[in-house]
Amino acid sequence: MSKAAGSGSQYDQPGERIPEAPHPLSLQDGSAAAFVGWMRHSAPYIHAFGGKTFVIAFDGEVAQGERMQRLAYDCNLLAALGIRLVLVHGARPQIDAEMARRGLTPVFHKDLRVTDAAALECVKAAMMVTRVEIEAKLSQGLPNTPMAGSYMRVTGGNFITARPLGVIDGVDFQYTGAVRRVIGKEIVADLEQENVVLITPLAPSPSGEIFNITMEEVATEVAVAIGAEKLVFLCDAPGLLDAQGKLVSSVTADAAARALAEGTGLTEDLHLYLPRAIEAVRRGVGRAHLIDRDLDGGLLLEFFTHSGVGTLITRDPIFRFRDARPEDVAALVALIAPMEADGTLVRRSRELLEKEIERFVLVEYDGVVVGSAAIYPFSEENAAELACLAVAPEFRRAGIGEELLRRIEARARAMGLERLYVLTTRTAHWFLERGFREVGPEALPRRKRELYNYQRRSKVFVKELQ
């Protein structure tokens, strides 16, 4: 997305076309159609996230060079879409470089920097330079860049009060601290003014001393204090990995805690960030994300595509099954329209869906409808029809269809019905594998038999409900 939105500008001045700079989306190579499809696909997320607050945390490796440039582009776009942003940065490599310049040796204990008075001076110097450089990246607005014509107001302040970490395992951490308090209402007030809040993990104590706090702790405490929708960590891995080294795309906090205890697939960053992500969702943050810091456009791909590219951590299972409501009609139309177009499903008008919406069961993924099924009872013949079983293509291997079928069967049994019918042109084997048997149209309940479309030639299957 950042490439398409950025270098593709064909205008240096309003109304002046530059033929030497062709738009990267060419109708000839099909990319324009892909772009249109992507934008339409992302629309539900754009609607859902407008006005929500995201806390994005990144370390010193991200806060410099090309990574920071790409992050600035994507944050600019997120802000333009109405998402409220709080950015929390680290500066470990910058601090180490400053200490080396002064002839000092960094000291760590349990992955925490021991900050004595000399180290604190290095921390302050490195943090402030890093912050200024981040602000500069966020303040760009050159023509022919993704930030052309934009203006991001970046603010900060003494939102955090610190306390000394103290002595642990006999080690005095001195000026290494922990969060005592976050003044969340002041951060929210800044966000309501459409500012991007940039937080540096240095904070004073009530006595006026300054303490060095870890970026991940600050990000977590801020996200909890302001009730953020998302807490995002950019890290040195694609996300949480399973025992085979494959990405775990979504996981509950409890399952993530088990993976953390087992130590499976954890990198240096994940050891630090995963516990905080788990803590955040357990304390009320809507979602936590672990995203590869080296993936160009990772934030956009994670937020605006169904499958995402990192690991999503939630307190409860990510798929939510529920009864449909009248306000779901638009989302249902968007889900089933492609399957109606290719003939998989019978076309249903919006008016019909509005009339029959109470017959539907829906499944949501991160608040977006990705599956549906409906039941039409024929009580006089102790039977029902399963209709409009639809699952978004990217989730067809996630077991959603089986769960929707199970729920429709349970509803039919609760009605005292004995048989469940289904008509299909494309998925005969799927139903055969799940206990259905093929019958002729004459076996359908009378009212359904009278409506059978002989030109469509749908196959009829029935399952006895035990």
pLDDT computed for residue 28 by the predictor: 52
Q: What is the pLDDT of residues 429-453, one digit of tens each?
A: 999 989 999 999 999 999 999 999 9
Q: How confident is the model at residue 9 (pLDDT cuts 50, 70, 90)?
A: very low
Residue 368 has pLDDT above 90, yes or no: no
Amino acid 378 reads: F
Burial class (CB within 10 angstroms; exposed 0-12, middle 13-18, buried 19+) of 90: buried
Is the pLDDT higher at 426 or at 98? 98
Number of Cβ atoms within 10 Å of the Cβ of 416: 10
3-state SS assignment for residue 341 = helix
Is the pLDDT higher at 397 or at 174? 174
Residue 271 has pLDDT above 90, yes or no: yes
pLDDT computed for residue 33 by the predictor: 77
Residue 397 has pLDDT above 90, yes or no: no
pLDDT computed for residue 104 by the predictor: 97
Determine contact, residues 187/225, Cβ cutoff 8 Å.
Answer: yes
Residue 22 has pLDDT above 50, yes or no: no
Q: For the chain, give the number of residues.
A: 466
Residue 43 has pLDDT above 90, yes or no: no
Look up the pTM and report it.
0.73
pLDDT computed for residue 363 by the predictor: 94
pLDDT computed for residue 163 by the predictor: 96
| Average pLDDT, integer, range 93-109 | 97
pLDDT computed for residue 36 by the predictor: 80
| Average pLDDT, integer, range 345-360 | 94
Residue 32 has pLDDT above 90, yes or no: no
pLDDT computed for residue 358 by the predictor: 95
Q: What is the pLDDT of residues 179-213, one digit of tens each?
A: 999 999 999 999 999 999 999 999 999 999 999 99
pLDDT computed for residue 318 by the predictor: 78
Q: How confident is the model at residue 45 (pLDDT cuts 50, 70, 90)?
A: confident
**DSSP assignment string, 227-279:** T-SEEEEEESSSS-B-TTS-B--EEEHHHHHHHHHHTTT--HHHHHHHHHHHH
pLDDT computed for residue 39 by the predictor: 81
For the ranges 135-144, 218-227, 423-432, the lowest mean pLDDT is seen at 135-144
pLDDT computed for residue 301 by the predictor: 92
For the ranges 59-68, 120-129, 160-169, 313-322, the lowest mean pLDDT is seen at 313-322
Q: How confident is the model at residue 3 (pLDDT cuts 50, 70, 90)?
A: very low
Determine contact, residues 148/133, Cβ cutoff 8 Å.
Answer: no
Residue 152 has pLDDT above 70, yes or no: yes
pLDDT computed for residue 97 by the predictor: 97
pLDDT computed for residue 137 by the predictor: 92
Q: How confident is the model at residue 8 (pLDDT cuts 50, 70, 90)?
A: very low
Residue 346 CA from chain centroid, whole number: 32
pLDDT computed for residue 13 by the predictor: 32
Mean pLDDT of the chain: 89
| Average pLDDT, integer, range 21-28 | 46
| Average pLDDT, integer, range 291-305 | 93
pLDDT computed for residue 17 by the predictor: 32
Nearest to 337, CA basis, from 37, 30, 46: 37
Number of Cβ atoms within 10 Å of the Cβ of 404: 24
- Please report how the helices 117-138 and 65-80 are oriented relative to each other, as an axis angle in degrees rounded to 10: 50
